[in-house]
Amino acid sequence: MSNSSTVSSNDNVKGRLVFFDKLRYLFVFGVVLQHAGNAYHSAVWPVSDVGGSGVLTSYINVLWEFLMPALFFISGYFALSSIRKRAITPFIKEKFRRLGIPWLVIILCICPVLPLIYHYTRDGMKLTFSYWQTWRDLILNTITMDFGFLPSRDVVMDNDLFYQRYMWFIGLLLLFFVIFALIYKWKKSWFDKEAKPIELKNAGIWSTLKLLLVVGCITFVGSVSLLIIGMTLGGMTDPDGTWFTLGNLVQFRVSRIFMHTAYFSLGVLACKGKWIESGKYPGHLKTWLVSVLVLLVAIMSVKYMMPQDPMLYGLVYFFIMNFLCFASLGLFSAVGTKYWNKPSVLSQNLAANSFNMYLAHYPFVLVFQLVFLFIPGIPQIIKYGIVSILSLGFGWLVCQYIIRPYPRATVALLFGATMLMLVVIRT
């Protein structure tokens, strides 16, 4: 839990960072919105209030698809500029401080609470075991150093196996940073070599569509290839729902790992090739907009009209989703560079709190979902709206006035609350 980076004084870099910082907090807020709706459609979410509309479910699923690749892209973009400024060893130390410490704190203090909530909302609104028992079992499961495929998430939840929940992003991102630093040390000359900027702003419709086609096909083919290998050699039975664990330190969804790696790499390449500098990328705005709209219609049509043959449905949905992710990133980038690339006090504040918002939002979302679970007669779409607003509002207040100015006190408070719950919450 730490402060975000500040805007550079260099004009060109400053403009680029303003634009990306805005996208970063926008996508983090999107993650909060996605999690706020999970109680109303997901069988594996800690709070169970399912039975809502298919519209809400579809909205949440589509929102989820493009948010994480975009965050990996932005992370990769900043990684290159950061390692150039800090050098390799300070870069790794800083990433372990900013990512590793929060990961450990949340794994120890927050994640063990989630199985209690999971069972509480499914076992007649009562606790069937103590927090100490839950905490002990999960920590013991954490240090078993398991490697290989995890069972489906519902099995993990029911059996109280170790599952990182939203912290999977932090663990995987830290691994990406370490691998990137090692590659940078090995091939520093490649990264430092001047590259000709990609200029798509005036290249027109077909160049933009060509870029979309290339990236979409690469991510789709790479992802499907990994799935085929996993199903053939690794015994995967659920292509889209299977997770992989690396010593319980890193957990990731197998069907998404190639995409996340590709988008992180694209971010590095974008920085190296100066894709964003001076507004030369991301291409034709209207083309991105039309592409996103067409792909949204296509993916919704697949969800509601295509025969539910698991293999065929999965391939078609996954194919469209790969293109939708990149088209969405292109659209946001195009809008951002053209209309949203000026600094403001509000944007700087939101950007400074974005990382801590990602870390801290989960408990707020769960608390407000639990509150409205006990209020009958409210449509789920209304619950979702209220939970979203309250989670964003309270999350920002806590990040702004507690976590950012007092990070060490925040950690101490979390550990203190954990110790209290170990004693108080009993069978």
Per-residue pLDDT of the chain (427 residues; tens, 9 = 90+): 654 443 333 333 444 457 788 888 888 998 998 899 888 877 778 888 876 555 666 666 676 678 899 999 999 999 998 998 888 999 999 999 999 999 999 988 888 888 888 888 887 777 777 888 888 888 887 777 778 887 666 666 665 677 788 999 999 999 999 999 999 998 888 887 665 555 555 557 877 888 889 999 999 999 888 888 877 876 666 777 788 888 888 989 888 999 999 999 999 988 887 777 655 556 788 889 999 999 988 888 887 777 666 677 778 888 998 999 999 988 888 888 878 878 888 888 998 999 999 999 999 999 999 999 888 888 888 998 999 999 999 999 999 999 999 999 999 999 998 888 888 876 4
What proportions of the chain, in percent to the nearest 5, are helix, strand and coil?
A: 70, 5, 25
Residue 227 confidence (pLDDT): 83
Decide if 5 is inside a domain. Answer: no
Residue 154 pLDDT: 61
In a domain, 311, yes or no: yes
* Residue 41 parent element (H or E): none
Give the structural domain span for 306. 11-160+167-424
The pLDDT, as a whole number, for residue 135 is: 85
Q: Which tokens belong to 252?
A: 């990731």
The pTM assigned to this predicted structure is: 0.88
Q: What is the pLDDT of residue 94?
A: 94
Q: Is residue 2 part of a domain?
A: no
* DSSP element (H, E) containing 281: none
Domain for residue 216, yes or no? yes
Residue 1 lies in a domain: no
Structure tokens at 319: 């194919």
3-state secondary structure 209-257: HHHHHHHHHHHHHHHHHHHHHHHHHCCCCCCCCCEEEECCCEEEEHHHH
What is the number of domains present in the chain? 1
* Model pLDDT, residue 221: 93
Cα Rg of the chain (Å, integer)? 22
CB 105 within 8 A of CB 414: yes
Q: Match 């994640």 to its residue by tokens.
A: 111
Q: Which residues contact 414 (CB under 8 A, 6 or more apart)?
A: 105, 109, 110
143: nearest Cα among 158, 129, 157, 161: 161
Return the structure tokens found at 342.
Answer: 């000026």
From residue 332, alpha-carbon distances to 25, 111, 182, 329, 406 in Å are 13, 32, 31, 5, 33
Does 207 map to a domain? yes
Contact 399, 32 (CB under 8 A): no
Residue type, 411: V
Longest CA–CA span in the chain (Å) reads 66
Q: Which residue has the tokens 């060509």?
A: 210
Q: Per the domain annotation, does 25 fall within a domain?
A: yes
Instruction: Sheet containing 243-246: give its strands across.
Output: 147-150, 243-246, 250-253
User: What digits encode the pLDDT tens for the residues 269-279?
Assistant: 888 877 776 55
Q: Are 68 and 256 in contact (CB under 8 A)?
A: yes
Q: Which amino acid is at 37?
A: G
The reply to whether 367 falls in a domain is yes
